[in-house]
Amino acid sequence: MAELPPFEHTPLDDIASIASRIRTSFLSHKTRPLEFRLVQLRKLYWGLKDNQDLILEACKKDLGKPSFETYLTEVGWCMNDIVFMSKNLARFAKDEPAQDMNLTNKFFGPKIRKDPLGSALIIGAYNFPIQLSLGPLIGAISAGCTAVLKPSESSPHAAAVMQKIIAESLDPSCYTCIQGAIPETTALLDQKWDMIFYTGSVNVGTIIAKKAAETLTPVTLELGGRNPAIITKHADPKLAARRLLWAKTLNAGQVCVSQNFTLIDKEMVQPFLREMKNALQEFYPQGARKSPDYGRIVNLRQFQRLKKMLDESSGKIVLGGTMDESDLFIEPTVVEVKSMDDSLIKEESFGPLLPILPVADLDEAIRIANEVHDTPLGLYPFGNKAEMEKVLSQTRSGGASLNDGFFHASIPTLPFGGVGSSGQGAYRGKASFDVFTHRRSVTNTPAWIESMLDIRYPPYTLKKQQK
Closer to ligand NAD by CB, 144 or 352: give it. 352
Tell me the helices (H) and strands (E) count for the chain, helix number first: 19, 20
Residue 39: exposure state from Cβ atoms within 10 A (0-12, 13-18, ≥19): middle
First-to-last C-alpha distance (Å) of the chain = 79
Site membership for ligand NAD, residue 193 (CB under 6 A): no
Closest approach, Cβ 16 to ligand NAD, in A, equals: 16
Kindly identify the residues of this chain, within the stretch 18-37, that bind ligand NAD according to CB under 6 A.
Answer: none
Stretch that binds ligand NAD, among 42-50, 201-209, 280-288, 443-451 (CB under 6 A): 201-209
Nearer to ligand NAD, 51 or 185 (CB): 185
Question: Which of the residues 142 through 161 are near ligand NAD (CB under 6 A)?
Answer: 150, 152-154
Residue 385 CA to residue 391 CA, distance in Å, equals 10
222 is catalytic: yes
**Contact status: 431 vs ligand NAD (CB under 6 A):** no
Nearest distance, CB of residue 43 and ligand NAD, angstroms: 24
Angle at 381 between CA 377 and CA 383, to 5 degrees: 170
Q: Give the other-Cβ count within 10 Å of 13's Cβ.
A: 8
> Given candidates 62, 331, 348, 434, which one binds ligand NAD under the rule CB under 6 A?
348
Q: Which helix (H) or strand (E) holds 262?
A: strand 259-265
What letters, b where the CB count within 10 A reaches 16 and e where it falls short, cover 257-286?
A: bbbbbbbbbeebbebbbebbeebbeebbee
Residue 2 binds to ligand NAD (criterion: CB under 6 A)? no
Tell me which residues in 306-335 interact with ligand NAD (CB under 6 A).
Answer: none
Looking at the Cβ atoms of 56 and 256, the one nearer to ligand NAD is 256
Residues 213-252 close enough to bind ligand NAD by CB under 6 A: 222-225
Out of 57, 222, 336, 387, which one is annotated catalytic? 222
Count of residues for the chain? 467
Q: How many residues bind ligand NAD (CB under 6 A)?
A: 29
The single residue of 59, 78, 177, 256 carrying the catalytic annotation is: 256
Type of residue found at 461: T
Residue closer to ligand NAD by CB (options 154, 163) is: 154
Smallest separation (angstroms) from ligand NAD to the CB of 56: 20
Helix (H) or strand (E) holding 40: helix 34-50
Residue from the set 423, 425, 432, 435 that interacts with ligand NAD by CB under 6 A:
423
- Residue ranges in 264-303 that form contacts with ligand NAD under rule CB under 6 A: none
By C-beta, is 203 or 393 nearer to ligand NAD?
A: 203
Residue nearer to ligand NAD on the CB measure, 151 or 237: 151
The nearer residue to ligand NAD, 231 or 426, going by C-beta atoms, is 426
Give the full edge-to-edge strand order of the sheet including 378-382.
316-319, 333-336, 353-359, 259-265, 227-231, 378-382, 399-400
| Residue ranges in 355-414 assigned as alpha helix (H) | 362-372, 385-394
Tell me the three state secondary structure of residue 97: strand
Q: Which of residues 103-132 bind ligand NAD (CB under 6 A)?
A: 123-127, 132
Shortest reach from residue 74's CB to ligand NAD, in Å: 13
Beta bridge partners of 228: 261
Q: What angle do CA 348, 350, 355 make, to 5 degrees?
A: 65
Site string for ligand NAD, 377-396 (x = CB under 6 A): x-------------------
Q: List CB contacts of 310: < 8 A, sequence separation 6 or more.
A: 317, 321, 333, 335, 344, 353
Task: Report the site for ligand NAD in 26-85 (rule: CB under 6 A).
Answer: none
- By annotation, the residues acting in catalysis are 222, 256
Binding site for ligand NAD (CB under 6 A): 123-127, 132, 150, 152-154, 181-182, 185-186, 199-201, 204, 207, 222-225, 256, 348, 350, 377, 418, 423
